[in-house]
Amino acid sequence: MKQILPQDRLVANVATTPFTKWKNSDGSDSNTEILQLGDSKKLGTGFHIYRMAPGSISEAHEHQGDEEFFVIEGSLRDNDGTIYGKGDLILLKDGTQHFSVSDAGCLLAVYIPREETNL
């Protein structure tokens, strides 16, 4: 087995690594942040950690492939009223349209295969 070289390993700690501010499609502040390792995929696609501040709302969008996410902390409410809480693992299928609200804030582990389409 080959040794893992330092340049082939990226490590970040969610508690101490700075997140990148996520901007809405119009450039305004979304009050959300992303922690994503590597730069082979556009920010917000592939695997990343997504943090929503209390009261933040995601833009309405359509999924281009199945989105999967895990609620690490807090809770999230979809536009249809469905509430996801700590420990929930969710899959929203390709073509799903929605937006989400985090009344108290949340931290999510997210996998998005391709860039979403804003509605």
Check residue 119 and report its DSSP letter. -
Dihedral sign from CA coordinates of 44, 65, 99, 87:
negative
Contacts made by residues 20-24, CB under 8 angstroms, sequence distance 24+: 22/50, 24/59
Residues in Cβ contact with 92 at an 8 Å cutoff, skipping those fewer than 6 apart? 63, 66, 67, 68, 98
Backbone angles phi, psi at 52, to 5 degrees: -110, 125
pLDDT at position 39: 86
pLDDT for 5 equals 96
Res 61: pLDDT = 94
At 109 the pLDDT is: 98
In the chain the domains, ranked by start, together with CATH numbers, are: 6-118 (2.60.120.10)
Residue spans of the chain under pLDDT 50:
none
Taking alpha carbons only, the member of 36, 59, 47, 33 closest to residue 111 is: 47
pTM: 0.93
Biggest alpha carbon–alpha carbon distance for the chain = 49
